[in-house]
Amino acid sequence: MGSIHISMCTFVTSASVAAAAAWLYYATSPAQADGLRFPASLPPQTVVVDPLQFAVLGQNATFRSSSFTEFFNPTNTTPPFFQAFDPAFLDILGSNPSIRVIASNPGFAFAHEAPIWVQKTNEVFFASNDGGPLGFSDIDHNNQVSKVSLNEVDVAIKNARDATSALNVTVTALALPGTVQMTNGGTGPFRGNLLLVNSGRGNLPPSITIVNPEAPHNATVLLDNFFGRQFNSLNDVKIHPTSKKLFFTDVTYGWLNHFRPLPLLPSQVYRFDPDTGIIRVVADGFDRPNGIAFTKDGKTAYIADTGASGGFLGNNQTEPATIYAFDVDSKTQAFHNRRVFAYVDTGVADGVQLDNKDNVYAGTGDGAHVWNPEGTLLGKFFIGNTSANLIFANKGQLVILGETEIVLAQIAAEGFNLAF
């Protein structure tokens, strides 16, 4: 979402234990479920929480008072694990899933945003927290783009003592040119390059850049203004699957985190044609537009509004923590027919990705959540910490960025190609 994510590791134990006392009764085993029917045998690391069983908690229950500092973990299960709310989540997981930490650095939010899987080298690229907790970046210091090798992860998994133990593979920092400032979003590869959107820093402008994924990582700026005005702080980007045009969100988090000047533009969504330079707004009316994604046919767009998370203004649970769906006009590609797709129960929905069956995944306050195309919450990849984004990689691999750690879920679901 930008730099304003709050790491919630310190709240996990106290919040989940307090919640468990009131909610443990309502967490079901397969035999107890009287609502949705789950199989008698569950996949590894999976717990079931039947929605019917916690629809009523009772007058004397302990209710959550904060979506940012308290988790819904009625089974009091130690993260990471799979939390199933609907039997369809088991189809996403498959019969033998696993979820584990593959890289960690407790003192540095190195794995915040901008995940890009490069198939050629089997590497995942990402950026550290820009301006937020444990990011060590501010108006005077840029954030860091890094990568991990999934080939190294595969070797580490083969040598691991079991299917769930934490790993800690090498995280390699990239030396990028000074034109890349405060990277917060990424996708692609686009024409063989990393496609990065950058929030800017101080008077250095927000920009869209393409970066060679291989050393020396030369960069080219594609866009750094809207008819002469700087953007506020670019946040996320996707390539439209049919037109191949670039769609990105611009929001005020740079100012809200003290590393950008006062905003000059509304918080809105843009379409940019890198071949002609034509840019225009395709959607507005947001509080803080953030993650963006398209269905694989390009007919539906999703935008996450993280209005509830407000930087130095603080968190406000009465503001949006909502994913909106839009129809994409077949001719103009403007977004219309806005409707609520999902409202998240923990933190805010940030980066958004889809699998090849158009299920929607988003980084949230306790991990990654998954909804079916109708907006029903199917389950969570519960990591017990904020996740700002995630990315599908090789078949059955979902890489979840968890600020101070990277989590790998090996599942049945697969993503679709984001490279153009």
Q: What is the structure's pLDDT at 34?
A: 52
The letter for the amino acid at 103 is: A
Q: Which positions ≥6 away from 129 have C-beta within 8 Å?
A: 3, 5, 109, 112, 113, 135, 137, 143, 403
Question: Please, are residues 281 and 302 in contact by the beta-carbon 8 Å criterion?
Answer: no
pLDDT digits (tens, 9 = 90+) for 327-355: 999 999 999 999 999 999 999 999 999 99
Q: What integer best gives the mean pLDDT of the chain?
A: 93
What is the C-alpha separation between 247 and 374, in angstroms, rounded? 23
Domain residue spans of the chain: 16-92, 105-378+386-410
Say whether pLDDT at 206 is over 60. yes
Fold classification of 105-378+386-410 is Neuraminidase (2.120.10)
pTM of the model: 0.93
pLDDT digits (tens, 9 = 90+) for 226-284: 999 999 999 999 999 999 999 999 999 999 999 999 999 999 999 999 999 999 999 99
- Structure token pair of residue 350: 């940030």
Say whether pLDDT at 4 is over 50. no
CA angle 371, 372, 376 (to 5 degrees): 65
What is the C-alpha separation between 142 and 319, in angstroms, rounded? 29
